Amino acid sequence: MKKYHTLLYYCYSHIDHAEEFAADHLQFCKSLGLVGRIIVADEGLNGTVSGTPEACQTYMDAVHADPRFAETDFKIDEVAEPSFIKMHCRYKPEIVHSGLRDPKIIDPTKETGKHLEPHEFMEMKDRDDVVVLDVRSNYEHNVGRFKNAVTLDIENFREFPDKIEELAAYKDKKILTYCTGGIKCEKASALLLKSGFKDVYQLHGGIIKYGKETGGKDFEGKCYVFDNRVTVDVNHVNPTEVATCHNCGVTSSRMINCANPECNEHFTQCEACGWKMEGCCSDTCMDHPRKRPYDGTGYYVKVPQPVNLEKIRRRNHLTPARNSPPA
């Protein structure tokens, strides 16, 4: 029986004193017994949290009660155990790192691609005048992607703006963007529009919502998620595997981080190669003096730094309040 819930969500909405908000929000999450990872920026929230159904409901109610986040769309998964070990809530310049922080360039609260509900996306994706565009990183789309999707050779979403020119051949097509939960598409679709693409759409709620509402038809492989589960099943209609082991080439969607912390590459590795290579991607990494002990998971917990609430509040009181973006 699955006793816990995992929530995936984001919301673009300006937050005054966002760094202080992050510290207070961390304490609130801990008071509910939640674990997870939340990014707070001036531009909004991006989070995945996990806990009991009651704690998750209390959290969702509190977020929705704040007028800034009233429209937040939570994707809810039932899980057998919490999807994280600890609770992190950190302030960062963006809720998804794109390098596009200037609202004069793009502002997801004002203009993005047209949102398509999962069934609308499924109905449109195979048309001749449509291109389905995966805006995620290599390690994500290598383990799972929509059939016939265009993928980009990027290690991180911040590289997406540099790939716009490569997509120029599709300017006369309808562009259907997708990502895990929808957050990257908000900025990706906005940038495509800014770059002269006329007909841009995005999958509302991302792959996760698509799987829940359509059965995941034509999503090949597994969906990468940013918690202890690493990947989740999406397609219950016509499932297939697309990922292969980095070392031996056998079909495998099992993802790990290299045991060499100075490499830390995120890659697919079958269980047999995992034990043979001691969780490393190469012989060189196997011989590295700082190699971490391999326990069969390839998952390594970061040690969190304590939050100094008083230091943050003192700094905010000495710094003039940020102006809200123009309406």
Residue range(s) in the chain whose domain bears CATH number 3.40.250.10: 114-226
259-269 average pLDDT score:
94
Token pair of 29, please? Answer: 């999450």
* 99 DSSP 8-state letter: S
* Cβ neighbours around 67 below 10 Å, total: 8
Calpha distance 196→181 (Å, rounded): 25
140-156 tens-digit pLDDT: 999 999 999 999 999 99
Question: CA of 95: how far to CAs of 13, 43, 72, 101, in Å?
Answer: 11, 7, 14, 10
CATH node for 114-226: 3.40.250.10
Residue range(s) in the chain whose domain bears CATH number 3.30.70.100: 4-95
> pLDDT-derived band of residue 305, with 50, 70 and 90 as boundaries?
very low
Task: Identify any residues that bridge with 46 across adjacent strands, giving them in sequence order.
Answer: 10, 39
Could you list the active site residues? 179
Chain mean pLDDT for the chain: 91
Token pair of 67, please? Answer: 């007028």
Residue in the block written with tokens 């300017």? 171
197-206 tens-digit pLDDT: 999 999 999 9
Calpha distance 4→227 (Å, rounded): 14
Q: What is the DSSP string of 224-285?
A: E-SSTT-EE---SSS-----B-TTT--B---EEE-SSTTT--EEE--HHHHHHTTT-SSHHH
Q: What is the reported pLDDT for 2? A: 79
Calpha distance 113→128 (Å, rounded): 19
Token pair of 296, please? Answer: 């069969």
Q: What is the reported pLDDT for 1? A: 66
223-246 average pLDDT score:
94
In the chain, the percentage of residues whose pLDDT exceeds 70 is 90
CATH node for 4-95: 3.30.70.100
pLDDT of 313 strictly over 80: no
Alpha helices of the chain — where are they, by DSSP H?
18-31, 53-65, 118-124, 138-143, 183-194, 206-214, 271-276, 283-286, 309-318
Residue 305: CA atoms inside 13 Å, Cβ hemisphere, count? 4
